[in-house]
Amino acid sequence: MKLEQLIRNYLNTGTNRNNDPEKNQQILVANLFGFIGYTLTLIMGLAAVIRQDNLLATVLLIASTLFFTSRLILVNKRLKNAYRVSGSLVTISLMLLMVYLIFAGGVHGTGPLWIYIVPPVALFFGGLRKGTRNIGLFILAISFMLFYPNNALLAASYSFEFKSRLLYSFLTVSLLFAFYEYSRQKSYKQSLQISRKFENQARVDLLSGLLNRRGMSEVLEAEFSRAIRHKKELSLIMCDIDHFKIINDQSGHQIGDQVIEQIAQTFKTALRQHDNVARWGGEEYLFLLPETNEQQAFIIAEKLRTTIAEKHFYDNGRPFNVTVSMGVYQVNPSDSINHAITLADKGLYQAKNSGRNRSVIHVEQSI
């Protein structure tokens, strides 16, 4: 279990819960490939030292160092987009190593057979556009080496048939991997769009188009934390449509839904850019007003209440009016979110009990 945990920790170095899944996957693969890269090239390099193949040993040990450097880059928390730098270094190191193996031939001329590693690595770390470009540059480089007159740029000797088939097969493999990467990216983007769509639907009330209780709860947590951290004022307004049951009973639920929707749009249009409003319940709305004290919140509440009172709604062409009641509360640093909402709700009930169509500031009584 300790070994399994050690491996898991090693591979997850640099990952973060706040990253998107694809980024974390790239970091994990960079760790894995870096480990395989520097381990394998180190072993092969030491083997070359034992065989006294000094040039090959030097190249392999340099490659091992570069692969290990990609690991060190991922560990560096101060470097921005470390995983991209690490992935680029892995790709460049791999390509340079492959160029050398083609040049030198490797063990018994088998060095060029390693080049098929290049397409998946280049496309994974570089994406479709950058990866394809890098593969194209690699193909140009090795083609120039392989088919330069009289094999002047090669230390190894290859037949024309071997060189041409090596290049054709590499092109085929590269095209297949490029098509796979294109399909993968397309599927990922579609999945991401669907995920965001469902996530948005889970946070937004479909009828009013406003945030729902879940969506507003997330905003409340963020704004409460910010207000406490920066010692900023914060106010809530709880709003309820007056006599909404009568509207439903007399005009029907379809007209009632239209009232909820139109009031929501009125609120949304009238608020400041940094304010938030949510449909908190059936006919209830909750406003979150950052950097706003209770007097400023009261002025906003009265402006919204007056706007609704003056607005005409229609039932089969017959106009009718709707009023709302508002409860205003300025949040104290010691308040929890639920407690602050409860106190704004108390202000709403005070407005209801005072005759409706009014705004009331609730002040918590000190004991």
Give me the catalytic one of 233, 283, 291, 364.
Answer: 283
Q: Helix %, strand %, coil % for the chain, to 5?
A: 70, 10, 20
SS3 147: coil
pLDDT at 367 (0 to 100) = 46
283 is an active site residue:
yes
Q: What stretches of the chain adopt beta strand conformation (E)?
A: 234-241, 276-279, 284-290, 312-315, 318-321, 324-330, 359-361
Q: State the DSSP H helix or E strand holding residue 71, giving kind and residue range, or none if neither.
A: helix 54-75
SS3 56: helix
> CA 322 to CA 309: how far, in whole Å?
6
Local confidence pLDDT in tens for the 367 residues of the chain: 577 777 777 777 767 776 767 777 777 777 777 787 788 888 888 888 888 888 878 888 888 888 888 878 877 767 777 778 888 888 888 898 899 889 988 778 888 999 999 999 899 888 899 999 999 999 999 999 999 998 899 989 899 999 999 999 999 999 999 999 899 888 878 887 887 777 777 889 989 999 999 999 999 999 999 999 989 999 999 999 999 999 999 999 999 999 999 999 999 999 988 999 999 989 999 999 999 999 999 999 999 999 999 999 999 999 999 999 999 999 998 899 999 999 999 999 999 999 999 999 997 765 4
Strands 312-315 and 276-279: unpaired
pLDDT at 242 (0 to 100) = 97
> CA 186 to CA 69: how far, in whole Å?
32
Contacts 24+ apart (CB under 8 A), 281-286: 281/213, 282/244, 283/240, 283/241, 283/244, 284/238, 284/239, 284/240, 285/210, 285/238, 285/239, 285/240, 286/216, 286/236, 286/237, 286/238, 286/239, 286/341, 286/344
pLDDT at 1 (0 to 100) = 55
Q: Collect all residues with Cβ–Cβ distance below 8 Å to 258 and sequence separation of at least 6.
A: 313
b/e for 99-109, b at 16 or more Cβ within 10 A? bbbbbbbbeee
pLDDT at 195 (0 to 100) = 76
